[in-house]
Amino acid sequence: MSRAWMPLYVADYLADTGHLSAAEHGAYLLLIMHYWQNGALPEEDRRLARIARMSAAEWDDARAALFDLFDENWRHSRIDAELAAAEAVSARAREKAGKRWGRARALSSEVETGSREDNASIQIDRRGEAAADADTHAAAIPQHLPGSCQSQPQSPPETVSDDPVSGRREPKQAREARQAKGRRIAPGWRPAEHNRSDALRLGVPEGLIDPLANRFRDFWTAKPGKDALKLDWDATWRNWCASECERKGWAAPGAATGPPPAGISISPIGDPEAWEAWRIARDGRPLPTDRTGCWTVPTRFPSAATTPASAKGAVNAKPAPA
């Protein structure tokens, strides 16, 4: 049985192998990797030396130190325990997979049963049409002739189909379960035009929609379990945008936000000295941001009377922008 990974507890490994040379370290790792892949080691020295990538002379020198790390007959109790634990995990996974496939087969069987019921309904319809034709012919026969009779036409049962292409009927319980479960976000999701319109309407700056959408997609793609299943991803995107606008203080277009502050917007990269001076003048409090994501800095820095003593030098170091 091929195993793609092997647990290696570094602290335990270094504690047990601190006396080995570099060549012996390599040989020991090759031996335990072979053990992990095959469940045991051969007992012949020639084959062991071949696994360890050593010559016969090198193996003779390293054999005693390496054998001390194994049990009798080159068994390894720690690896045996890890193999048993890995096999238990695999067995549980196989059992769960078998249950899932069993439910899928049962659902498929229900769908096939519905299809057979539809076929039976079609046959009943055809029999009903044939009976109606027989009634028409019977009505033309004089009533006084022996054996003449009129049969009452029967209305054929109505058929209901959920799939207009195949005509198959989806069981009600399966349909309700599928609709209530939701779905994960589509791989490579990108905001459509109506998603962008929703983001702009809620107040997300146009230049920040794509970065926000990337974080939205990566978050829900990486999220495990049933919490990542949503019935309406458009509504989830709107809620995400609304929360981000509330957290960042972005106002929706046309919203009453009061008079804008008398100031200018600067980038911390474009003018780091002015930003640092104003941050210090505010006693380290964060600066307000505008809808473009830049910090808002007044056109005039605080006067010396209102500026903290620790910030006077920084404020005066750069004149206020005109």
Residue spans per domain, the chain: 10-75, 193-248, 263-317
Structure confidence by residue, pLDDT tens digits, 140-194: 444 544 444 444 555 544 444 445 445 566 676 666 666 667 889 999 999 999 9
CA angle 85, 102, 115 (to 5 degrees): 165
CA distance 23 to 58: 9
- pLDDT given at position 100: 81
Domain over 10-75 is classified CATH 1.20.1740 = no
Predicted model pTM:
0.33
**Tokens 């769960």 map to which residue?**
96
What DSSP state is assigned to residue 310? G
When pLDDT is averaged across residues 302-317 and rounded to a whole number, the result is 43
CA angle 242, 243, 249 (to 5 degrees): 85
CA distance 283 to 308: 8
The alpha-carbon radius of gyration of the chain (Å, integer) is 39
Residue of 242 and 318 predicted with greater confidence:
242
CA distance 175 to 281: 63
Structure confidence by residue, pLDDT tens digits, 3-20: 778 889 899 899 989 899
Q: Which residues are bridge partners to 183 per DSSP?
A: 230
